[in-house]
Amino acid sequence: MLQNNTTTESPLAPIISVRSLWKIFGSNQDEIVNADEGDTDKSEVLQESGDVIALNDVSFDVFPGETFVVMGLSGSGKSTLVRCLLRLIEPSSGEININDDDILLYDAAKLREFRRNEMAMVFQHFGLLPHRNVIDNAAYGLELKGIDKDERYEIAKHMLEKVGLDGWEEARTSELSGGMQQRVGLARALTVDPTILLMDEPFSGLDPLIRRQMREELADLQAELQKTIVFITHDLDEAVTIGDRIAIMRDGRITQLGTPEEIITNPADDFIKEFTRDISQTRVLSVQSIASDLEQVFETTARVSEIIEGMEDTGKEFAFIVDNDNKLLGFIDKEAIEAAGNDAPLKDMDLSVIEPIHESTVIEDVVQLTLDNPYPIPIVDDENILTGLATHDAILQAFAENALQQQSN
Amino acid sequence: MATENPNETDNNISKISKIRINKWLVYAGVGGIALIISFILRQVDLEVFLKFPLDVEFPVKSRMNDGLDWLVINGAWFFDGISYQIKVWLGRLKDFLIWLPWPVFSGLVLLLAWRIGGRKIVLLAITALLYIGVMHLWESAMVTVAIMIVSVSISIMFGIPIGILGSRSDRFDRILRPILDGMQTMPSFVYLVPGIMFFGLGNVSAVIATVLYSIPPCIRLTNLGIRQVDSQVIEAGTAFGSNRMQLLTKVQIPLAIPTIMAGINQTVMMALAMSTIAAMVGAGGLGQDVLLSMGQLDQGGAFLAGMGIVLMAIVIDRITQGYIESSQSSSGTTNRE
């Protein structure tokens, strides 16, 4: 059942590695877990006892620094899953390896240390302490660790500034709006400087405008802090926006696991397809997927006359100049090259700078660039090597196809 | 859905009323049959049916009395020790309160009423203090206050820890619950006799009886308050690595304070209600005034002293209620979503 069509395998070792995790609410845990797949006994046991399978043989890996989204509707087991990662709910069987250590084997003291240092959680309903003010809430994790007051206040104050709550340290949490309360929740999680941040539908309780703003701020924070994030949501739109990889859950199983692009372009079943319908492909497809072949690319050793010839042949009034490793150096248009004259050596010419886009950029993000720019936009990889061109036509076509597809749905 | 089909709702209603009528018929039938059987048994006149064939009342009663006697004799060192401590502390407190000039005591009460309750409660407190002064009840009132302070302190000292234990262990709670039920329904006079046997006549027996009578609400509401703390907040506390003690002191008890305070308020009220009964074993104070007046058929005097207790109860109740409200609004428990 598990479709692991991950293409972007990280070269790093996974920081979280979950192996055949089961959680059954009820009294017949062993019988159900030990029954074979498709065994009739299992459904019989379930029917007779009224037990519920919340997690059904769940396995996945999360790599350091990535934002891993678990998406599912209510009852899909996603909340149970994230609580198992902290052992707020004890799984029935399976392995949860974090930093190569099975946390299910921890005793109470070790588990406490793990919770204090390695993982912190942000809750849907905030879970703030209403009898404490903002800074004492933010510093709660540090207080548990036994860090003295001055030091923990300093760290908490710093984190509150980061989430945009400076000046609110002394306020009661009940005086704050939902969005601000969740910022306190986020600050509380970040003050302990965890390796992994668990977020259980953190923005679901907020109104849409605030939700979007919080998402953007989270993205900024993530760019700065580079935490590993496990993010739970019931909203595929949210999942696609913030996730590096998404696991889609249904009835306690992971039904598809992949990048947003893989899930949108290639949904594993009708259920997922139904979700992806409202999401514009241009939001997940990278420019690489629409890149046209390289043309009008010349090395610095090329002669000017060669370039002019090329322009005349193709009717294109531009040229990209690369070095001999195919790294993008710059751009030149017809006017400039004609002004220089036929025999001028290329390396002495002033190349105009054109900002390239990275190949993983999604199509939607280059629209403004195309509007500002009459020429195709160069696409480069991590090494600044030119890999393709994003033409106006290709971008327009992507949007048009998407619109047609959504209409036909 | 129901509005689309009015006939269906009508049907449902008639079905429900039919079921109800059937139930009443069954009750009436059972009652009727029981009456008929009783009538027949009376007619037959067999002794087995008219008088319980077995009587174990006497041995149980005498065993209990023997047991109490044994405890009184062999536990004397223990009960005398407690008795002595309470007597000393109660005596000092009583002497001190009587020694305090009335303007000082009144001033302190009014300050407290003003800080916690506001203007209305200050007016109420002035009325009560004036009444007690004018009716020559001052000294009795101070004795009652001393007994209240000592017995309520003991109730809190034991009640809150027992309540916390009850909230943490379901098994302990199951044992505790019937005991508390018993303590609350047992007629309060029953506490007086063992009190006299163990601690002798006087204030100490009164304090012990008052504690036994007034401790249940403190235990119950502490237990309830801690159990009622929002499970999401507890989950968050656990997720950040609280151990049981940290969870208790940093999350559960602070959030349970309003409920615990309500328990203490109930304890105070019940302690005051006990003051007249406790006067029977020699506790002084307003209760004794009521009792003596009644013994002399002086209904007016009994009423005046009784009024003093009532006014005192109202003032204490309002002040503690005011405190509960302020602690609730500051902990934010009332305006959570």
User: Which CATH number fits the domain that encloses residue B247?
Assistant: 1.10.3720.10
Chain mean pLDDT for chain A: 81
Find the CB nearest B236 among A113, A117, A127. Answer: A127
Would A320 be classed as within a structural domain? yes
Would B99 be classed as within a structural domain? yes
Q: What band does B267 get if pLDDT is binned at 50, 70 and 90?
A: very high
Q: What band does B335 get if pLDDT is binned at 50, 70 and 90?
A: very low
Q: Report how many domains make up chain A.
A: 1
Cα(A178)–Cα(A191) distance, integer angstroms: 20
Mean pLDDT score, A86-90: 89
Domain that holds residue A317: 288-399
Distances (CA, A) of A109 to A105, A113, A115, B233, B250: 12, 6, 10, 21, 19
Domain that holds residue B258: 80-331
Stated as kind and residue range, the H or E segment containing A232 is strand A228-233
Find the CB nearest B243 among A112, A121, A131. Answer: A112
User: Does A327 reach chain B within 8 Å, measured CB to CB?
Assistant: no
pLDDT exceeds cutoff 70 at A28:
no
Would B84 be classed as within a structural domain? yes
Look-up of token digits 């540090």: A142
Q: Do A144 and B336 touch (CB under 8 A)?
A: no
Would A370 be classed as within a structural domain? yes
User: Does A107 reach chain B within 8 Å, measured CB to CB?
Assistant: no
Would A207 be classed as within a structural domain? no
For residue A392, the domain's CATH number is: 3.10.580.10
Which has more confidence, B14 or B257? B257
Would B286 be classed as within a structural domain? yes
Q: Report how many domains make up chain B.
A: 1
User: Does A177 reach chain B within 8 Å, measured CB to CB?
Assistant: no
Would B40 be classed as within a structural domain? no
**Percent of chain B beyond pLDDT 70?**
91
Q: Do A130 and B332 touch (CB under 8 A)?
A: yes
Min mean pLDDT across A122-136, A208-222, A312-326, B100-114 is at A312-326
DSSP-derived 3-state class of residue B23: helix
Tokens of B141: 């009132």
Would A175 be classed as within a structural domain? no
Q: What band does B163 get if pLDDT is binned at 50, 70 and 90?
A: very high
DSSP, res A76: S
Model pLDDT, residue B45: 78
Phi and psi torsions of A200, nearest 5°: -100, 100
Would A271 be classed as within a structural domain? no
Model pLDDT, residue A1: 36
Model pLDDT, residue A350: 67
Would B55 be classed as within a structural domain? no
Q: Around Cβ A273, how many Cβ atoms within 10 Å?
A: 14
Would A300 be classed as within a structural domain? yes
Which residues fall within 8 angstroms of residue A337, CB to CB, at 6 or more apart? A304, A307, A308, A311, A319, A349
Would A323 be classed as within a structural domain? yes
Cα(A296)–Cα(B32) distance, integer angstroms: 107
Would B123 be classed as within a structural domain? yes
ipTM surpassing 0.95: no
Would B210 be classed as within a structural domain? yes
Model pLDDT, residue A221: 86
Distance from CA of A372 to the nearest CA of B (A): 48
Q: What band does A41 get if pLDDT is binned at 50, 70 and 90?
A: low
User: Does B236 reach chain A within 8 Å, measured CB to CB?
Assistant: yes
Would A264 be classed as within a structural domain? no
DSSP-derived 3-state class of residue A319: strand
The alpha carbon dihedral of B265, B266, B269, B275 has a sign of: negative
